[in-house]
Amino acid sequence: MYRMEHLVSGAAGFIGSHLCDRLLAEGDSVVGLDNLITGARRNLAHLAGHPKFRFIACDVTQPIDLEGRFHQVWHLASLASPKEYLAHPLETLESGSAGTRNMLEIARRDRARFLLTSTSECYGDPLEHPQVETYWGHVNPVGLRSCYDESKRYAEALTMAYHRYYGVRSNIARIFNTYGPRMALKDGRVVPAFLDQALQGQPLTIFGDGTQTRSFCYVSDMVEGLVRLASSEERLPVNLGNPVELTILEFAERIKRLMLAEMKAELPIVFEPLPEDDPQKRRPDIGKAKRVLGWEPNVALEDGLRQTVEYFKALPVTR
Ligand code: UDP
């Protein structure tokens, strides 16, 4: 049977490591790259010695001389949490620009397919709601978050240029908030932050008044969407995310309810200042993903959160 060779950047990251698992489960071979700024070796520990998996610790923003011929290149390498990209703005800009270019060059060399993981941040603090792929966004180009937003927008432009100029068979996924096991507990994003606080019996920290909205997609649903997208002929961006929208206050209440059964204690909520340019509303319109990929998320928030709690509880105690 025909087996594919995949190259995955960001392989030790949260979504990247789940993607590697999925590709290997299909019997394909995977070379995973990661510079481990935010990725963790722990996320790939279970693949040590796997005959079809090879990990290379390297920085994809530097030219990479990789042997082998790949059929599919997946560019996931990026700092994805606001806390991390604000701490590493230049690395973030580089992974979207030079990193994307280096990975596209490999796809061009090998006549491989290429998938870019872009972001809902391309829509900035959106003036249209829900966000449809045809909306061009409302991004502050010089704000704190611009290092992430603009690097991903540039990465999308680069990907389209390689497609139009060199004929690279590319796909662009605009990923909305995703959660699940292997998120970094301390990366500052709201799901690990609330679960970490809850597991320690500490108050949940809501930034602003909690009226801002997000929608949360479980990682297995996300990986399914990415895999379907990579085999589609859709070249323009496709939103992948869960359309169930919650205010952050409602989300905190869900966590409280879930953890009440778990911890047998009611968690207090405290309010802290809202970070600069924090988007007020976010919800994907997934009509295109449904139409083109036959995809929509299946995992209910409570089920996904339970899996994530189990994962965090099993982590070695570092505090
Ligand atoms: N947030 C919060 N408390 C936290 C962490 C985040 O209220 O401890 C808010 C944050 O201000 C944002 C939302 O939760 O409005 C989602 O934040 P996250 O960092 O997960 O991702 P974003 O969608 O902003 O990229």
Q: What are the angstrom distances between the C-alpha of 134 and each of 52, 176, 239? A: 39, 16, 10
| Category of 10 on φ-ψ map: left (φ > 0), alpha (ψ -120 to 50) or beta | left
What's at 290, amino acid-wise?
K
CATH of 5-179+217-242+283-299, one of 3.40.30.10, 3.40.50.720, 3.90.380.10, 3.20.20.70: 3.40.50.720
CA of 38 to the centre of ligand 1 (A): 18
The atom number, within ligand 1, closest to the CA of 274 reads 11
| Category of 294 on φ-ψ map: left (φ > 0), alpha (ψ -120 to 50) or beta | left
Point out the catalytic residue in the list 148, 162, 179, 218. 148
Specify the DSSP class assigned to residue 257: H
Q: Mean pLDDT over residues 278-300, rounded? A: 97
CA of 213 to the centre of ligand 1 (A): 9
pLDDT of residue 2: 72
pLDDT category at 318 given cuts 50, 70, 90 is low
CA of 123 to the centre of ligand 1 (A): 16
- The helix/strand/coil state of 213 is strand
CA of 275 to the centre of ligand 1 (A): 9
pLDDT of residue 319: 46
Put simply, whether the predicted model's pTM sits higher than 0.75 gets the answer yes
Please choose, from the candidates 129, 188, 148, the residue with its C-alpha nearest in 3D space to the C-alpha of residue 277: 148
For the cut 60, the answer to whether the pLDDT of residue 184 exceeds it is: yes
Confirm whether 85 is a catalytic residue. no
Measured from the CB, is residue 175 less than 6 Å from ligand 1?
Answer: no
The percentage of the chain sitting over the pLDDT mark of 70, rounded to a whole number, equals: 99
Q: Mean pLDDT over residues 284-298, rounded? A: 98
- As a whole number of Å, the end-to-end CA separation of the chain is 48
Instruction: Write out pLDDT tens, residues 93-143.
Output: 999 999 999 999 999 999 999 999 999 999 999 999 999 999 999 999 999
To test ligand 1's pocket by mutation, which of 196, 207, 211 has the most ligand atoms within 8 angstroms of CB?
A: 207
To test ligand 1's pocket by mutation, which of 81, 140, 248 has the most ligand atoms within 8 angstroms of CB?
A: 248
For the cut 50, the answer to whether the pLDDT of residue 188 exceeds it is: yes
Report domain extents, the chain: 5-179+217-242+283-299
Instruction: Write out pLDDT tens, residues 261-271.
Output: 777 778 999 99
Give the Cα separation of 34 and 18 in Å (integer).
14
What is the residue with the minimal CA distance to atom 10 of ligand 1? 207
- CA-based diameter of the chain, in Å? 59
Instruction: Write out pLDDT tens, residues 12-56.
Output: 999 999 999 999 999 999 999 999 999 999 999 999 999 999 999
Measured from the CB, is residue 278 less than 6 Å from ligand 1?
Answer: yes
